[in-house]
Amino acid sequence: MAIRKDSKGRFLRRGETQRKDGRYCYKYVDAKGRTRCVYSWTLTTRDLTPKGKKAGPCLRELEKGVQRDLFDKVAPDDMTVYELALHYTETKTAVKQTTRAGYKTVLNYLAKDEFGSRRIRDVTSFEAKRWLIDLQNVHGKRYSSIHTIRGVLKPAFQMAEENDLIRRNPFNFELATVLVNDMVAREALTPKQERRFLEFVANDKHYQHYYDAFFILLNTGLRISEFCGLTVDDLDFEEGSIRVNKQLQRSSDMRYYIERPKTESGVRYVPMTNAVSASFKRVLASRPRPACEPVVDGVSGFLFLDKNEMPRVALHWQKYFQYAVAKHNRIYKEELPKITPHVCRHTFCSKMARKGMNPAKLKYIMGHSDIEVTFNTYTHLGFDDVKADMLGYESGAA
């Protein structure tokens, strides 16, 4: 799927296009399988209607109405939980492919589980909670998996409530009040751990080939899919910047595709330090020249290619980190913790916070849509991080 933007440079969702005359169009398939379109001169509520054109609802508002109408036309009185989830996900036409893959996983589970065959009007809040508890305690599902399942069912039942199919949403409760959260918090590496890991990689005959990639991830805060999507044209050594405007993904059926960043804030330029710049230059110098340059949705020139001359994806780098840490821990008594690409991102954010970077600036670099996410990093700082500052304040006051 190619990345599409409107005349203002904004990313367009699935089904959205902008015509040559500036008017926006949303294409969808109705309940009878027919292709339909709705049009608007504006994309969002913040847009102004072009001069001389008739004002009306923006395209995104029209999309919501379309999704609601689609749901209304396929909602029988005896609808099951599985059918409700299926129809709800079918109305979510503007989601990313990764989200759609998550929907498919949930639907596959509900199709097999007895709870999926229950009529939605018979499901009570007590039964919903009991089912989720059984998923964790009896069937051994992790909190994160249950969180995903409930992430589909809660809004699906909410839609059913708003359409008067049920009296109240049985999933309208906080999951953490019902289940034990067994998710392991991602801890940032300490400066000592980061140095030890990079020194080990730099001196290991096998893993030293990945040193520059590891160093870049630890010193830019890039999401791994953003990192995998980097191309030669995204690097500007004169300006010292990295252009981040896409993500490279690979589906379960091994199909490569390009997605826009996680949020609109994800489109950004990340500064390069001199050390990061040097790492990128070494990456370019050692980049293989494939017989046929791989092209994914019109994008080519990817920095990192595998043995099949295809772009490396997140799974590659997760394994490289896993194996490198495992080898280190087999050799040395002082073990390193689990390191993943996201731990690198979290480490970078914590490192910048520790150095006193302004939260608003750090929010931009990280591509966070909400500054609260950035502030959460500051809460992960420990005693050693704040001790020096406290002593400095004391000496300053004296």
Tokens 């008594």 belong to residue: 333
147 is catalytic: no
Phi then psi for 38, rounded to 5 degrees?
-125, 155
Strand partners, 129: none
345 is catalytic: yes
Q: In whole angstroms, what is the distance from residue 89 CA to residue 232 CA?
A: 37
Which one of 10, 100, 154, 262 is the catalytic residue? 262
Which one of 87, 141, 150, 345 is the catalytic residue? 345
Phi then psi for 263, rounded to 5 degrees?
-135, 170
What is the DSSP secondary structure assignment for residue 305, as one 8-state letter?
A: B
100 is catalytic: no
| Element housing 243 (H / E) | strand 241-244
Which one of 23, 96, 342, 380 is the catalytic residue? 342
378 is catalytic: yes
Identify the CA nearest to 91 among candidates 108, 116, 68, 62.
68
Q: In whole angstroms, what is the distance from residue 222 CA to residue 266 CA?
A: 10
Alpha-carbon radius of gyration of the chain? 25
What is the DSSP secondary structure assignment for residue 25, as one 8-state letter?
A: E
| Under 8 Å between Cβ of 111 and 147 | no
| Under 8 Å between Cβ of 288 and 265 | no
Which one of 4, 268, 378, 380 is the catalytic residue? 378
Percent helix / strand / coil, the chain, rounded to 5? 50, 10, 40
Q: In whole angstroms, what is the distance from residue 60 CA to residue 44 CA?
A: 6
Q: In whole angstroms, what is the distance from residue 21 CA to residue 41 CA?
A: 9
Which one of 141, 223, 312, 346 is the catalytic residue? 223
Identify the CA nearest to 38 among candidates 69, 6, 5.
69
346 is catalytic: no
Residues assigned a catalytic role: 223, 262, 342, 345, 368, 378
